[in-house]
Amino acid sequence: MPLVFVNPDRCIGCRQCEIACAVEHSVSKDMAAAFLEQPVPRARVHVEPGPVLDTAYPSRCRHCDPAPCLQVCPTGAISRDDELGVVLVDEARCIGCAMCAVVCPFSVLTFHPVAGGPGPDVPVAVKCDGCVDRLRRGEVPACAEVCKVDALVFGELNDVVAAGRLRQAGAVLAAAAMTKTPVPVRDPLVAWRSWGAELVTVEHAAQGRVP
């Protein structure tokens, strides 16, 4: 099934995915009005600094299967949509115990009050839901749709891998085309020619002939 995959080497840290995600999870779905809402809509994808200076990484829920967060949730607030392959949080049932955050291997859960939560001042677990409403309408998740450098790509695993291989092959060929091949100073076959000449000399000597 199609999911959002991350190409960390392409992320430029523009954070457009965070803005699109927050707007998608707002009540108004409008950028101008979303950030005036209370509580403020929160992004489910987080652009983190990369391991090297001037690099970034868009971190998001991997929707693990099995999902540790789902297994430890004491209230059953976390569930899986098997048809779409996404792990969802029912904010109305979340008690903010943070057990899910403790076991998450990717540290993608945050805690904030949300519009569908138990109260305007009650923080609950907030994580990527894969833009489940958009998926049900046959649309691309907001973060992947807005990303202009393909750091976030929506599709089937095999298709994404194949596209990545083509991109890497193209980069290698482009680099090779820009690199001048040095002209050898001497004949690269000189050793083979010498060896051939020696073989002829030995053969003539064996036959008693003078070359």
Three-class secondary structure of residue 112 per DSSP? strand
What's the rounded Cα separation, in Å, for the pair 92 and 124? 9
Tens-level pLDDT at each residue, the chain (211 residues) = 788 989 888 899 999 999 999 999 999 999 999 989 999 999 999 999 888 888 898 999 999 999 999 999 999 999 999 999 999 999 999 999 999 999 999 999 999 999 888 888 899 999 999 999 999 999 999 999 999 999 999 988 777 777 766 766 666 667 767 766 666 566 667 777 777 777 778 777 777 765 5
The CATH number for 104's domain is 3.30.70.20
What's the rounded Cα separation, in Å, for the pair 203 and 90? 89
Per the domain annotation, does 163 fall within a domain?
A: yes
Q: Which residues contact 65 (CB under 8 A, 6 or more apart)?
A: 80, 85
Cα→Cα distances 41→7, 148, 165, 188, Å: 26, 23, 37, 68
**pLDDT for residue 68:** 97
Count the domains in the chain. Answer: 1
Per the domain annotation, does 39 fall within a domain?
A: yes
Per the domain annotation, does 184 fall within a domain?
A: no
Per the domain annotation, does 209 fall within a domain?
A: no
Per the domain annotation, does 90 fall within a domain?
A: yes
Per the domain annotation, does 92 fall within a domain?
A: yes
Per the domain annotation, does 49 fall within a domain?
A: yes
Which three-class secondary structure string do you get for 132-191? HHHHHCCCCCHHHHHCCCCCEEEECHHHHHHHHHHHHHHHHHHHHHHCCCCCCCCCCCHH
Exposure pattern of 46-83 as b/e (b: 16+ CB <10 Å)?
A: bbeeeeeeeebbbbbbbbeeebebbeebeeebbebeee
* Structural domain containing residue 88: 3-173
Cα→Cα distances 164→2, 114, 167, Å: 16, 37, 5
**pLDDT for residue 164:** 66
Per the domain annotation, does 187 fall within a domain?
A: no
Three-class secondary structure of residue 37 per DSSP? coil
